[in-house]
Structure 1
Amino acid sequence: MSAPSPARPISVLCVDDHPLLRDGIAAIIESQSDIVLVGEASNGHEAIALHRSLKPDITLMDLQMPELDGISAIEQICGENPKALIVVLTTYEGDVQAVRALKAGASSYLLKASLRHELLGTIHSVYEGKRFISPEVAQQIALHSMREQLSSREVSVLELVANGKANKDIAGRLSVSEETVKAHLRSIFLKLDVVDRTQAAAVAIRRGIIPLH
């Protein structure tokens, strides 16, 4: 038995810096009588301003955006309105990024590859007070939840590694010795279960430990 339709359409704000994706979401919602797209934003600043003025029931939020990223926008929106319902839209299955978004206040976490099949159901579920996390993401969270997390300094080292910096350059930027950098790298390799710098950078980007630029 399907849930009863709300007395008024569920209002949705879509936040993504790619116009084609926003158009795709608009097309999915357009055919629904009980959901209405009330606004679109292309970055976090616009999202915050539109959330204040439109007060949507549901906000669909991308994470990787210019000017202000999605997680920062989620934190501010939920800080102003703790009851805000935000569904993260992302291309990546990264567990660290997902946990960060959920801790910031997101209600659900949906992969963009699943939008056509899961968007409408997710909107209804979140509106009814439920959470939804894409199975692929939930699996990654469960897989890595018991592993030791990287320290903030290790993340800083890893970001520089991903940007192609040598140990000497990393040491200079962080004002530490090269031996300290090597020690951080040994710890990083152990925690991420990798054997070299290239693998470490790839795993860190995939899991959302460091941002993809």
Structure 2
Amino acid sequence: MRPISVLLADDQPMIRTGFRFILEAEADIRVVGEAADGQEAVEETRRLAPDVVLMDIRMPRMDGVEATRLIAESGLSSRVIILTTFDLDQHVVDALRAGASSFLVKDGPADSLVSAIRTVAAGDAVLAPRVTRRLLARFAGMPSDTAPPVPPQLDILTGREVDVLRTLARGLSNSEIAAELGIGETTVKTHIAHILDKFHLRDRVQAVILAYDSGLVTPHTAHRTDRS
């Protein structure tokens, strides 16, 4: 099997060296290039077409948010993991909106970096329930005591697809969604694929953003239904 190719984009050489050291210890991951700023990250992504780009959010010339947006809009299959010093600030959310599949805090454990790369390279996204709740609490609509009605812009979804999107927006895994809705995990995957296809979304993170941008999920309902 071909190794997962990774591009490191960070303006600090020591950070890039540290990430390279961690990743090159893994047999299934290969670092194919480095970039010292956002503009170079975009250029190197176009040239190398890596599976995953580790993108620092704050860099000179062009920041990680704009670089992520350009990569997502280019049609390349490369997926972006945002690297940040601060857990879930506005820039991180902007990057997720721009097309990033995940974000990691730089001082996190090495195994979380390796795991995130493998997950994102496989076509999934990394967004834990705790992070999802904070996203909802900050950027969704006002709290409500009842589940909000299905917004008109989601009318193209079937009833079951709406159910899946609601649970997906709480950060549940496929197996957890299957257990909660009483359906098979393969069926969950099919519904998620239909949701992504209907709205031309890249991955689960974009589906979560759709759920709270449309008003399907509110902070109150997210906290009430998922207290993990």
Instruction: Determine if the TM-score, normalized by the shorter chain, exceeds 0.5.
Output: yes
Shift of 1:54: 0.6
Shift of 1:146: 3.6
Per the alignment, residue 53 of structure 1 pairs with 47
- The answer (yes or no) to whether the contact 2:32–2:50 under 8 Å persists in 1 is yes
- For the pair 1:75 / 2:69, whether they are aligned, the reply is yes
Q: 1:143 aligns with which of 133, 137, 140?
A: 137
Per the alignment, residue 80 of structure 2 pairs with 86
Task: String of CA shifts for 1:15-34, please: whole Å, max 9, x gaps.
Answer: 00111111110010111111
In structure 2, runs of 5+ residues without a counterpart are 143-228
Shift of 1:82: 4.9
Q: Distance in 1 between matches of 2:136 and 2:12?
A: 30
Per the alignment, residue 154 of structure 2 pairs with none
| Superposed counterparts of 1:1-213, under 5 Å | 7-133=1-127, 137-146=131-140
- Determine what percentage of the aligned residue pairs are the same residue: 39
- 1:114–1:133 distance in 2 versus 1, CA, 3 Å: farther
Shift of 1:111: 1.0
- The answer (yes or no) to whether the contact 1:12–1:35 under 8 Å persists in 2 is yes
Q: Distance in 2 between matches of 1:22 and 1:41?
A: 9
| Rg comparison, structure with higher value | 1
Q: Distance in 1 between matches of 2:109 and 2:42?
A: 23
* TM-score scaled by length of structure 2: 0.58
Per the alignment, residue 170 of structure 1 pairs with none
* TM-score scaled by length of structure 1: 0.62
- The answer (yes or no) to whether the contact 2:49–2:76 under 8 Å persists in 1 is no
Task: String of CA shifts for 1:61-113, please: whole Å, max 9, x gaps.
Answer: 01100111111111111111253211111111234222211111111111111
Moved more, 108-117 or 44-53: 108-117
- 1:71–1:129 distance in 2 versus 1, CA, 3 Å: same
Aligned length: 142
In structure 1, runs of 5+ residues without a counterpart are 1-6, 149-213
Q: Distance in 1 between matches of 2:34 and 2:109?
A: 17
Give the 3-state SS of the residue equivalent to 2:108 in structure 1: helix
Alpha-carbon RMSD across the aligned residues, in angstroms, is 1.8
Task: String of CA shifts for 1:152-206, please: whole Å, max 9, x gaps.
Answer: xxxxxxxxxxxxxxxxxxxxxxxxxxxxxxxxxxxxxxxxxxxxxxxxxxxxxxx
Q: One-letter code of the match for 1:31? A: A
Give the 3-state SS of the residue equivalent to 2:126 in structure 1: coil
Q: One-letter code of the match for 2:37? A: N
- 1:137–1:17 distance in 2 versus 1, CA, 3 Å: farther
